[in-house]
Amino acid sequence: MVDTTTRIAVIGGGMGGLTAAIALTKIAGVQVTVFEQADQLGEVGAGVTVAPNAARVLDRLGVLDRIKQLGAVPDGHGVYLDAMGGMVTDAAWEDSAKQYQNIGMYRPDLISALAQAVDPDTVRLGHRLSSVETVDTGIRVRFANGMDDVVDAVIGADGIHSVVRNAVDQHPEPVYSGYIVYRGVVDASRLPADWPMISQVWMGNRRHFMCYPLQQRKLFNFVAGIPSDRPLNGPWSGPADVSELAAEFAGPDWDPQLQHFIGLIDKTFWWGLFDHEPLTNWSRGPITLLGDAAHTMLPHQGQGVNQAIEDSMALATFLAEADDVTDIPEAFRRYTAVRMQRTAILQNGSRRAGAMFDAQYEFADLTKRDADIRVGRDFRRSAVFDYDAQKVAEHALNRFRKVVQFT
């Protein structure tokens, strides 16, 4: 294991960056400093699902119980519905062993739960990264506020518009998908008493709408995917008028129950959906990437945050094998080799899931779409939810040991 004086900078204090800080401290035993550009830790008030594959990681890191206290476990499997509310199939919500379930989390609550497990003295707020530079004594990170620091290694958890990514390689910028999403929450007390406490997805007319419970069922999250050229003509996110969202699901072709839910929304924001082709390289020397910085993906499989959490466990597992700072580049290369395969599959799978939900391309035949969604349900449980990031990393380490030892 690297010396406890080894210093690693995590750029980005979001869900991936904070999980990385926890894992690197507990598993690799290094000194971590988290640099966050915002003046306080937080997230826009919408929801995210902690899936079983990430819940397994968070359990081993000792934070799952707190997350369960703040989140909401649904009553059972979710459902995929057609535009009028007809059943297409149920949706997997647990791993095969039924040990871990989907947990609906209000994003600020998830940030809070993770932040509680990080030493507050190691978090630097108001630090927007300007540059990353290799120097004789390590890696220098410079910030827009005039501060700088020299560390032994840098982990870029700085999201879709990552500065660290450009220090690794000249990767292309993420590409707009042609879709925006409206997001927000509804006070659950306003819903009908018999409203199902599960995730529901309505699909039709090149758009879809999803909702699920959060915060011990006090809130309901919603996400609506709509085709739009808006990000091509201006900003990629911003506040939205609820009437815009309502108009997208109005008329006799949409389920009145869905329209009733939309009628309870009093505030929403929109985001452009971007992703990029799987990157060919995440690491350069003692610099590597994690989460959206490494594998920006569409949200249609709900795996963006969950893959950042898997990354964190894998990275800490590989780094714990290093003997000193000179081994860090090799640890990062091994981490990259293993994680790039996993996330590339899910990046492409998320695109395909979106095409199914919105009946795009070959899925315009709704019979084929519905059949593919039913098949995908079982694949999702076995290939996504059952995945054990720590065990996969440990098995990879055993293979690496047979080929070459750390120098």
- In the numeric block, the tokens 């899936």 are attached to 51
Using DSSP bridges, classify how beta strands 138-143 and 129-135 pair: parallel, antiparallel or unpaired: antiparallel
Judging by beta carbons within 10 Å of its beta carbon (0-12, 13-18, 19+), is residue 399 exposed, middle or buried? exposed
Catalytic entry in 106, 212, 335, 387: 212
> Do the Cβ atoms of 30 and 182 come closer than 8 Å?
no
Structure tokens belonging to residue 258 = 């869905």
Q: How far apart (Å, rounded) are the C-alpha atoms in residues 312 and 389?
A: 9
Number of CB atoms found within 10 A of residue 351's CB: 17
**Strand ranges for 195-305 from DSSP E:** 200-204, 207-214, 219-227, 237-240, 268-275, 287-289
Widest CA span of the chain, in angstroms?
68
212 flagged as catalytic: yes
Closest CA to 202 of 191, 194, 211, 193: 211
Indicate which residues carry an active-site annotation.
Answer: 212
